[in-house]
Amino acid sequence: MNATTICVTLTLLLTLSHDLSCEVDKGSISGSVGYFSETQFEGDVKNAVVVVALKRSEFRFRTNENGDFGVELSPGTWSLVRVLDGEGKELRIHEGQSRSFSVKRDKNTRFDIMIRPTK
């Protein structure tokens, strides 16, 4: 092997090991998005788009047909920014809803989201 081949091989190995270490440095959240009145659960928010942020970076994910979700995120304290219905209309987040959650490396955090029903 010549010096160029060794340098290219080492660069590739370092790049691959960096990519693998980034995958490990994640946590996850799971939960459900549902409509809640003053007193009770009113139904699932199907195919909602949830927008969360860590510092200045926003991340979007979609709920399934049951209003459930599960995503991997970087560790840190995230903020709930907004929730959109399946057609892109912004939904009103329930006033009792927590607006932040923590993601820890290699851990899952439960974060359910309450939405006010439209009148």
Domains, the chain, ordered by start: 26-115 (2.60.40.3540)
* Residue 50 CB coordination number (10 Å): 23
Residue with tokens 């549902």: 34
Per the structure block, which two tokens stand in for 29? 């959240």
| pTM tops 0.85 | no
- Per-residue pLDDT tens for 59-115? 999 999 999 999 999 999 999 999 999 999 999 999 999 999 999 999 999 999 999
pLDDT of amino acid 118: 82
Q: 54-69 burial, b for 16+ CB within 10 Å, e for fewer?
A: eeeeeeeeebeeebeb
Residue with tokens 């010096």: 3
- Per-residue pLDDT tens for 27-58? 999 999 999 998 899 999 999 999 999 999 99
Cα separation, 109 vs 71, whole angstroms: 10
Q: How far apart are the first and last CA of the chain?
A: 72
